[in-house]
Structure 1
Amino acid sequence: MLAHAVDGAVYQAWAMSPAAWEDLKADYRERSLTAPCCGAPVVPVRSPTSWQFFRHRPNTGCDLRESVAHIVCKSIMARAAARLGLEVATEARADDGTWVADVLVRHPSWTVALEAQLSRIPLAAIEERQERYREAGIRGAWLVGYDIARLEARRDLPLFRLEVKRTGRFEPAVIGPATDGTPARTYLGPFAEALLTGRVRFEGPPPQASMPSVATVPSVCWKCRRDIDLAVALVNVPAHAMFAPHGVLPARDLGKLPGILAAYRDAIPALHGACGSLTPLRRPPPARLALGMRAHCPWCDVPISLQGLPETSLRPGRWLRCWTLAGEAWTPPEPRASRWTWSGSADLGGHRRAI
């Protein structure tokens, strides 16, 4: 996709008009074109379906060779970003070599790397490369040409299934959420525009739903009869095989995990500043310590036993509200698989937010 000339000029195959490409083919020898990956000579060529790219000369010892399908996908994504008036570079590299992006897109407010991953690699390899992008302040999005078993959509890893069919010419499409049981397909160009104009959205639990939080159920104080938010569990805490399987710690057992207890105590001002009806948790007198922590009415301070609560109170579907230890409220979502969704036409004017 990219070649350097002896005079310092840089040629990007995807961005050149057919006429300019023919001119380059006529005098590429005088320009001494080389590949940025290895410095070896390259030749400008055009595929039978009119895609432009640079080919290593025969017997060049370079391992970085790409399929025509990969070149097509990169060209389509680069052209989509260019149509939006964004700065685009293919095969962009970090100065320290920590990352190489198929297509790097720059906006004054953000930078995005678009990756067309057609050859199969482990998910861990994608996650590692995504982390390198994150450390560099780059948002990465992955168009993957194969199925990954048991993969769940994640907010921190925009990853989409790419299908590359050849019907006379390559027609890459992104497979979207199913409608009436049939997966939707969006051609790669329009999808890239949607991605870069903020119209691809993640549907899943709110970010707070993964933070350590206090889960509550609605109740009434047995003494003053006022409504309370009864703290029944701490959720999203480090899993403990005995006391907090799956990261859910019953409130009565809070005293058995000192680290979580300390974090809760530090959070008490934020929690009760955010929710005045939330019951604080305290240890009982020494004689009743074996019964575990007790809740206290926030209005009359009477102790409320947490023994004998139904097991259903420890299930997300029964919690009314949850509060992060920073005092942010969130509501347990309806059971539904997370997913990425998109629709509509490209907004060519704003470019306020990418993915």
Structure 2
Amino acid sequence: MKDSPTTGHAAVHSHGGGTDLAAPEGTDLENRFANPGLPAHRFRVTDTDPKAARSAERQVSTIFLLSAVGTVVFLVGYFALPIEEDKSFERLLLSTLVLGLGLGFAIFCIGIGLVHWAKTLMPDHEQIELRHDIAGTEDDRRDAANIILDGVEESGVMRRTVIRNSLIGALGILPIPAVVLFRDLGPLPGEVLRHSLWENGVRLTRDPDGTPIRAADVTYGSVFHVIPDGMEDSAHPIEEKAKAAVLLIRIQPEKVQAAPERDGWDYDGIYAYSKICTHVGCPVALYEQQTHHLLCPCHQSTFDLTQHCKVIFGPAKRPLPQLPITVDNEGYLVAQRDFPYPPGPSYWERGESE
């Protein structure tokens, strides 16, 4: 490797047969190239032709109004095609198709309208914002507020009343489908959640076939997923199952900590507990035989069967409600009464003792 004897010129370095050009010391490379700057701004047709701008404004408003049509289609489909009256697959398919297309078209049109508004009517001048310290002075904050106000002014939302009003109208009715859909989430908290189908004498049956369960068939360590007898004949079987689903487990009675207030709630070591996690309502369906722990797979809340399903890990705050059980004169397991307090997640109408 040799350095060039001529000072002020770049030195040529050899690296295994190749060469590279090194900048001389003291040379500012940034000053060797002229800043090309920003290219000349290209005005859109709507920037120079008021007629084209008005046409674009009408187009945006029309798109927003089409969004409102999609919302109306959703509402009409929801009320005109109720699946409660006709539970056939064809009705379910048609209802889902109309609801999905209506709501999807409404949201799509609002998005397209906003994009078209921005690309044709909002200012598109190129700007450069120099970096500065994160902390700002009072003047900086005042300037930032002015920038927001300038953005509102440049967007034309205050001047273009047709666009503004059509957008407000489309956004105003868009949440209505969500409000309507909330009706299908189930009953509001209150008395309807405090009681399930369990009552004195109702047999415990296997989920999902509804076969009654004999106490003699429940061996130590076995787990049964249980529903109340006759649940399928109720008016709302899915809603009832969400309140009444139970896990049936047999454990040696001496391993369970005695609780005088629960005396007689089990039958010869056979315990029945709500399957609905007290965190957010996921199904507690995992049982570990060695530790006698029940695990919720959603958020890993863990309940100790030997402590009457007390929470020992995870976000749940309350133990699983126990269903008092006994046997009838035929040897089948039956409920003594309903859960002592509502199963599932907490809500604002629970009592202090719950």
Higher Rg = 2
TM range (shorter): under 0.3
TM-score of the two chains, using structure 1 as the length reference: 0.22
Greater helix content: 2
Q: Which has the higher contact order (CA 8 A, sep 6+)?
A: 1
Greater strand content: 1
TM-score of the two chains, using structure 2 as the length reference: 0.22
